Amino acid sequence: MKLALISDIHGNSVALEAVLADIETRNVDQIIVLGDLCYRGPEPKQALDLIRALNAKVIKGNADEWVIRGVNQGEVPDKALELMKMEQAWIRQKLSDADVQYLEQLPSELSLTYGNMSIHAFHATPHSLFDIVLPEQTNEELLMKLTANRDADLYIYGHIHRAYMRVVNGKTIINSGSVGLPFDGLNQASYAIVEINDQSFITSHIRVPYDIEQVCKQYEANNYPNKEMMQQIIRTGSN
């Protein structure tokens, strides 16, 4: 069984198309989408349509929750709140009621079993769509925040836009990074592969180049309300 883990597309359909094309070459059996499908990208509708057309397992991220009900005070820095509300309103105008209903009904976590391998999948943590768990945190912090809620062999999440894998006390933790907005300084789409065999499994991270300037032009052409900042993130691969 070969799984592709994709997350944090953020309305970047050009990057998503490049990742899906790469996945096609790798004989993947199942795609798992770890949330944040539309918000902050120049083509939210196109990205969502691509995800909905897949035979994939999809969970909700914090940005999907923002699309549904708006951005609340305390969830982002105060100085960014009004701008992010403008972005949310712009994105809602691009989506249909059915699109928003689709986001609303997404689960916040998945428990999956493939052969002898059990997987717990979520966007940020099992308890929250918003908490931030970084790769440099201590073993104790990772175990408490990511693994204490449910016993599994593999824990997979997104949200932080930084790809990594660590094994802590026999538990494998993997973050797939971000398809649409990587924050690790490499401006290429990121996703992960997990290949499960009878008594073993292999994890790997894949980086996929895509047409960055095309996406930057889309922000311009579509008159995105925060286009300069988003173009900078796209070009540099960092926030």
Give domain limits for the chain: 2-236
| CA-wise closest residue to 3 among 32, 25, 24 | 32
- Per DSSP, 23 falls in state H
Confidence class for position 146, pLDDT limits 50, 70, 90: very high
Q: What CATH number was assigned to the domain covering residues 2-236?
A: 3.60.21.10
Q: Give the strands of the sheet with 2-6, arranged side by side.
A: 56-58, 30-33, 2-6, 189-196, 201-208
Q: What is the pLDDT of residues 7-31, one digit of tens each?
A: 999 999 999 999 999 999 999 999 9
**Residue 190 belongs to what H/E stretch?**
strand 189-196
- Contact of 208 with 177, CB cutoff 8 Å: no
Measured in degrees and rounded to the nearest 5, phi and psi for residue 71 equal -100, 125
Q: Which residue has the tokens 């790769």?
A: 135
Q: What is the pLDDT of residues 92-137, one digit of tens each?
A: 999 999 999 999 999 999 999 998 899 999 999 999 999 999 999 9
Q: What is the pLDDT of residues 44-74, one digit of tens each?
A: 999 999 999 999 999 999 999 999 999 999 9
